[in-house]
């Protein structure tokens, strides 16, 4: 036990701000696959300051002490100041940590920063933008045969199931084009001619 300072022991035996906020403004989760420590920090923000925050930690005594001290240091600070809290600052505030336990302070600072980043992302509407971009993934309706213009359901086959004519894929956008095409009708990319360009007419 001599490896740990009185401050570390105090925060381990009497951790502050334990738990999880309901409907938090931001959530930060980090884990260390080597030691198995896991930390989750939830924050509530008012007027660009951390009004309240809580932590849940699965780990050793040092990890619990780090989480507890971190919440004390961050509470009431502006988001900018809270983002400046580093693992070194947390360790120093605890009176030092053994070298083999310094990774715990890394987790604590990272969890806080991720919670703030999560809040800022939600505030800037990142989630809404992602939802707007999602329909772009459904491009099946635009994946059409260059000959009969019907939708190609099985993209893995080099020929149209409707008209049986062969095609190739644009090297830039992946859209099907006729084998003798010199450019893609969809993205306009110039294409190299194929040796079997006239095969489509024989099919």
What are 41's two structure tokens?
């920090």
C-beta neighbour count of 13 within 10 angstroms: 11
Per DSSP, helices labelled H in the chain are 6-13, 61-74, 79-83, 87-93, 102-123, 126-133, 199-202
d(C-alpha 56, C-alpha 42), whole Å: 9
Catalytic annotation, pick one of 60, 104, 160, 170: 104
CA dihedral of 148, 154, 159, 164, whole degrees rounded to 10: -60
Sheet containing 38-46, strands listed edge to edge, beginning at the edge strand earlier in sequence: 26-31, 38-46, 49-58
Query: Among this protein's residues, is 148 annotated catalytic?
Result: no
Query: Among this protein's residues, is 163 annotated catalytic?
Result: no
CB-based contact 38:110 (threshold 8 Å): no
- Residue 9 three-state SS: helix
Catalytic residue positions, numbered: 35, 104
């Amino acid at each position: 036990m001599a490896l740990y300072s009185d401050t570390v022991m105090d925060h381990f035996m009497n951790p502050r701000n334990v738990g999880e906020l309901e409907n938090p403004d931001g959530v930060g989760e980090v884990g260390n696959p080597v030691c198995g420590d896991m930390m989750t920090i939830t924050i509530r923000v008012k007027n660009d300051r951390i009004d309240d925050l809580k932590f849940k930690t699965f780990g050793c005594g040092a990890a619990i002490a780090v989480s507890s001290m971190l919440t004390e240091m961050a509470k009431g600070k502006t988001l900018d100041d809270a983002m400046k809290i580093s693992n070194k600052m947390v360790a120093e505030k605890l009176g030092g940590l053994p070298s083999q336990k310094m990774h715990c302070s890394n987790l604590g600072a990272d969890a806080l920063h991720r919670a703030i980043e999560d809040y800022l992302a939600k505030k800037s509407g990142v989630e809404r933008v992602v939802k707007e971009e999602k329909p772009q993934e459904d491009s099946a309706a635009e994946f059409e045969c260059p000959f009969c213009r019907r939708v190609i359901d099985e993209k893995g086959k080099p020929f149209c199931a409707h008209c049986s004519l062969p095609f190739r894929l644009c090297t830039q956008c992946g859209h099907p084009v006729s084998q003798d095409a010199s450019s893609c009708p969809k993205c306009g990319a110039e294409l190299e001619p194929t040796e079997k360009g006239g095969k489509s007419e024989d099919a």
